[in-house]
Amino acid sequence: MKHTIQIEMHSRFGEFCASGENAVKLLKSEIYPILDKQPANLAFDFYGVRNINSSFSNALFANLVRRYGEQIVQSISIANVKPNLKSEILYSFSMATSEIDEAQKVCS
Amino acid sequence: MYDIHLSERITALDLTRLAMDLGVANGQDEVNVNFGSLRYFEIIPMTLLLGKLIGWYLEGKKVTVSVPDSCRAKPYLQRMDFFRKIGVDIHEDFKRQPSAGRFREFEVISRGSESQADRLATQVADVIVPDQKDSEDYSNTGYYDCVEYAVSELVLNTIQHSSSAGFLGAQFYVAKGYTQIGVIDNGKGIRQSFIDKNSPHSNRIANDADAISVALERKVSSTTHSGMTGEAVNSGVGLTILAELAGKAGGHYTVLSGAAAVIDGRVVDLGSYRGFSGTLSAFIFPREPMNKFSDHLEKAKQKIVDVDADRFEGAFL
């Protein structure tokens, strides 16, 4: 059974998630060290988070796809998102997969 | 001593003219700015003047200001902390009223930490859109979210690219129904930022106008070439999305850096000696359309990348 990494967003980043730098710190300190060694599920809980900007969302979610490929999305669960947060995260996933598609086209 | 007399009325529409008028003094050792005729000054050109004055101080110029009582805009400039920010102490003959619903005094953007972005953005949204501040009805917080989002992205831009401190100003104009947001820094400018970061886009940039135009392209920033390792803090879409957003909702934007400005997609050459060494990013967001911020944001993003919602729907509980 895969290990699950639980991440409570509000307690870490407050009501407004706005710093890409802080998102990358989370990835490098707590998520990459585990995912680089073994598959794991990622459970993000956005309860209490009101707003998110593109910088944060891309630094967290687009970077996960850039590093592990689109299949990582199947290991991700995201709870308690407001519509504007969901739209932002969907954009980040889409942007990263389009980058991968473009890179593959260049390579082939 | 080179004297600059500010005109009676300076609005956001006068921004490039003001930039060129101030730029004439770039080659002078001593500059005096006379506020005597000034009656009305909007926050975006005021932000430019603030950045320009600080820039001259940093260059070692002797800079003075003349603010006689004939300056009708004096109390407003004082209330915005304009003179305090340039180190000039002028006695206030009025009682400061709360700023909620109208403006935010000029804030300093410090070098280094990104953590100030969310704090500053929330503080500005709190005073510009106080009626939506504590709303639990998330379908009714669009303008608050818009202001908070925009300010955070602009502050991050300054921190990530300028290598300098900066200033942030914001004002809601009730009669016009829109907010002006201005962020300025005295840093290296957009063109130099591309060069210093060894950006692969540098070879497309021959001048400041090219640099601003390239920075406004999708997924281009001076720092977006860090590969697929998953460590990029910047995806190069912040400014681009804000420009699209302003366009979608009847707003406006100006990015001024070096000897050029881009205003709603139109390039303006300021002349090689009339430029501003740092960067000014200025946005106008109307309130009524931006109450549907989520819808406009989604449309702005669709223009940059095709969002395939069905493909990733399974991630959301």
Domain annotation covers residue B270: yes
Which range (B118-127, B170-179, B303-312) has the least confidence? B303-312
Inform me whether the pLDDT recorded for B221 exceeds 60: no
Range of the structural domain that residue B286 is part of? 98-306
pLDDT band of B271, cuts 50, 70, 90: confident
Inform me whether the pLDDT recorded for B222 exceeds 70: no
Q: Does B126 touch chain A (CB under 8 A)?
A: no
Phi-psi category of B270—alpha, beta or left, where left has phi over 0 and alpha has psi -120 to 50?
Answer: alpha
Q: Tokens in use for A70?
A: 């689109």
Structural domain tally of chain A? 1
Answer whether B231 sits within 8 Å of A27, measured CB to CB: yes
Question: How close is the nearest chain B Cα to the Cα of A6, in Å?
Answer: 14
pLDDT in tens, B12-25: 999 999 999 999 99
Q: Of residues B170 and B236, which shows the higher confidence score?
A: B170
pTM of the model: 0.93
Domain annotation covers residue B279: yes
Q: Which residues of chain B make contact with A84, given a CB cutoff of 8 A?
A: 138, 145, 293-294, 297
Q: Residue B272: which H helix or E strand, with range?
A: none
- CA dist B70 and B39 (Å) reads 9
CATH of the domain at B189: 3.30.565.10
Amino acid of residue A25 = K
Domain annotation covers residue B51: no
Which class for B257: exposed (0-12), middle (13-18), buried (19 or more C-beta within 10 A)?
Answer: buried
**Partner residue facing B230 (CB), from A19, A27, A88:** A27
pLDDT band of B223, cuts 50, 70, 90: very low
Most confident of the ranges B35-49, B192-206, B294-308: B35-49
Inform me whether the pLDDT recorded for B289 exceeds 50: yes
Predicted pLDDT at B227 = 62
Average pLDDT of B251-268?
A: 94
Q: Tokens in use for B41?
A: 């000054």
Average pLDDT of B134-157?
A: 91
Mean pLDDT of chain B: 90
Inform me whether the pLDDT recorded for B244 exceeds 60: yes
Predicted pLDDT at B219 = 62
Query: What is the residue whose two structure tokens read 């005096």?
Result: B32
- CA dist B63 and B29 (Å) reads 8
Domain annotation covers residue B266: yes
Q: Does B112 touch chain A (CB under 8 A)?
A: no
Inform me whether the pLDDT recorded for A19 exceeds 80: yes
B110-113: long-range pairs with CB below 8 Å, 24+: B110/B165, B111/B159, B111/B163, B111/B164, B111/B165, B112/B159, B113/B159
Which class for B317: exposed (0-12), middle (13-18), buried (19 or more C-beta within 10 A)?
Answer: exposed
Domain annotation covers residue B273: yes
Phi, psi of B177, deg, nearest 5: 70, 25
**Partner residue facing A16 (CB), from B118, B229, B293:** B118
Q: Does B241 touch chain A (CB under 8 A)?
A: yes
Structural domain tally of chain B? 1
The CA–CA distances, whole Å, from B5 to B22, B60, B90, B162, B176 equal: 10, 21, 19, 30, 27
pLDDT in tens, B150-168: 999 999 989 888 778 899 9
pLDDT band of B197, cuts 50, 70, 90: confident
Q: Count of CB contacts below 8 A, A vs B?
A: 145
The CA–CA distances, whole Å, from B266 to B209, B242, B253, B262, B295 equal: 10, 16, 10, 5, 26
**Partner residue facing B117 (CB), from A15, A19, A77:** A19
The CA–CA distances, whole Å, from A100 to A95, B227, B228 equal: 9, 10, 8
Range of the structural domain that residue A43 is part of? 3-107
Q: Which residues of chain A make contact with B315, given a CB cutoff of 8 A?
A: 73, 76-78, 89, 93
Average pLDDT of B32-52?
A: 97
pLDDT in tens, A44-101: 999 999 999 999 999 999 999 999 999 999 999 999 998 889 989 999 999 999 888 8
Domain annotation covers residue B118: yes
Q: Could you tell me whether strands B2-5 and B30-34 are parallel, antiparallel, or unpaired per DSSP bridges? A: parallel
Beta bridge partners of B109: B166
Predicted pLDDT at B304 = 83
- In sign, the C-alpha dihedral spanning B211, B216, B218, B221 is positive
Inform me whether the pLDDT recorded for A103 exceeds 90: no
Inform me whether the pLDDT recorded for B92 exceeds 90: no
Q: How much of chain B exceeds pLDDT 90, in percent?
A: 64
Inform me whether the pLDDT recorded for B250 exceeds 80: yes
Inform me whether the pLDDT recorded for B302 exceeds 90: no
Q: How much of chain B exceeds pLDDT 70, in percent?
A: 96
